[in-house]
């Protein structure tokens, strides 16, 4: 799959960049935090399948500002009855978010997310939003952020026309360091539109291998109340990835 080559090339570049950043900031704490995730599964025999997933996150935090960038790609291939390779899943997502912290607990945010899912029934779905966030729990081993704010969804159904609608975005982001080497995460997000409501849940467990590498298991559920004909309302995905943080 060509996506594999792109993911591996980008992974190599990020590894190299991470090493440079780590060396330059060895003597002082850096405002940069980055991580990349790569998962690959290939089966052969009675069933031929190939799945790849790639994610990259970068955070820059200084004074009252916190900026986050996120990118991900997912693809799946299998063989049909006559042995031809068939793409069964292909998704790309890119997002950016900036927070302005009023104090230790309260902040304002602005968010832009761009998504393209080949098998969702939508040619594209983009969301921009702004609003208010509050850290409801802040402990050494646990944090919970809640966010609310208005936004706009821009989308185009397959073989349709470009549309847009106002929405209300609700989000909860929780993490708990179970031990020094394991961490539980839970993300809940809902974009309540005038016509379409899209919700997502991402549950994860991460176990550290060493100071830089970790193994991560995630279970993602997406749900839309209205979808084009022939498309399911709910999508679910279980993934295991290797995480490199720098």
Q: Are 56 and 72 in contact (CB under 8 A)?
A: yes
Question: Could you say which DSSP state residue 214 is in?
Answer: E
| The most confident of 2-11, 119-128, 206-215, by mean pLDDT | 206-215
Final residue before a domain boundary, out of 36, 62, 88 = 88
Spatial distance between the Cα atoms of 39 and 219, rounded to a whole number of angstroms: 14
Q: What pLDDT is attached to residue 1? A: 45
**Is 110 part of a structural domain of the chain?**
yes
Q: Count other Cβ atoms within 10 Å, centred on residue 152.
A: 14
Q: Which residue has the higher pLDDT, 54 or 86?
A: 54
Q: What pLDDT is attached to residue 14? A: 46
Residues 73 and 122 in one domain: no
**Is 164 part of a structural domain of the chain?**
yes
Residues 45 and 149 in one domain: no
Residues 174 and 150 in one domain: yes
What tokens were used for 83? 């042995």
Residues 116 and 187 in one domain: yes
Residue 104 has pLDDT above 90, yes or no: yes
Final residue before a domain boundary, out of 63, 88, 113 = 88
Domain that holds residue 8: 1-88
Nearest Cα to Cα of residue 34 among 70, 59, 9: 59
Residue 176 has pLDDT above 80, yes or no: yes
Residues 78 and 1 in one domain: yes
Q: What pLDDT is attached to residue 77? A: 84
With cut-offs at 50, 70 and 90, classify the pLDDT of residue 160.
confident
Given the structure tokens 């646990």, which residue do they identify? 142
Residue 216 has pLDDT above 60, yes or no: yes
Kindly report the length of the chain.
246
Residues 49 and 116 in one domain: no
Q: Are 73 and 51 in contact (CB under 8 A)?
A: no
Residues 113 and 234 in one domain: yes
In this prediction the pTM is: 0.83
Q: What pLDDT is attached to residue 89? A: 82
Gyration radius (Cα) of the chain, Å? 19
Residue 209 has pLDDT above 50, yes or no: yes
Tens-digit pLDDT profile for residues 62-74: 999 999 999 999 9
Q: Are 59 and 68 in contact (CB under 8 A)?
A: yes
Q: What pLDDT is attached to residue 3? A: 47
Q: What pLDDT is attached to residue 85? A: 78
Residues 139 and 162 in one domain: yes
């Amino acid at each position: 799959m060509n996506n594999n080559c792109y993911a591996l090339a980008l992974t190599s570049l990020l590894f190299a960049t991470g090493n440079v950043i780590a060396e330059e900031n060895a003597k002082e704490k850096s405002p940069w935090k980055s991580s990349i995730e790569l998962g690959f599964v290939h089966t052969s025999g009675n069933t031929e399948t190939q799945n790849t997933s790639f994610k990259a996150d970068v955070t820059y935090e200084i004074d009252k500002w916190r900026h986050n960038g996120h990118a991900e790609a997912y693809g799946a291939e299998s063989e049909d009855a006559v042995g031809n390779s068939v793409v069964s899943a292909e998704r790309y997502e890119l997002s950016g978010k900036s927070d302005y912290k009023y104090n230790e607990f309260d902040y304002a945010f602005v968010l832009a997310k761009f998504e393209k899912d080949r098998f969702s029934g939508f040619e594209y779905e983009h969301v921009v939003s702004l609003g208010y966030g509050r850290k409801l729990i802040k402990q050494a081993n646990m944090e919970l952020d809640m966010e609310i704010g208005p936004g706009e969804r821009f989308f185009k159904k397959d073989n349709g026309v470009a549309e847009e609608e106002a929405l209300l975005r609700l989000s909860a982001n929780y993490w708990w360091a179970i031990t020094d080497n394991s961490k539980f995460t839970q993300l809940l997000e809902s974009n309540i539109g005038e016509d379409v409501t899209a919700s997502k849940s991402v549950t994860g467990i991460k176990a550290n291998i060493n100071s830089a590498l970790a193994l991560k298991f995630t279970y993602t559920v997406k749900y839309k109340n209205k979808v084009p004909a022939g498309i399911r309302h709910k999508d679910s995905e279980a993934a295991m990835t290797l995480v490199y943080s720098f």
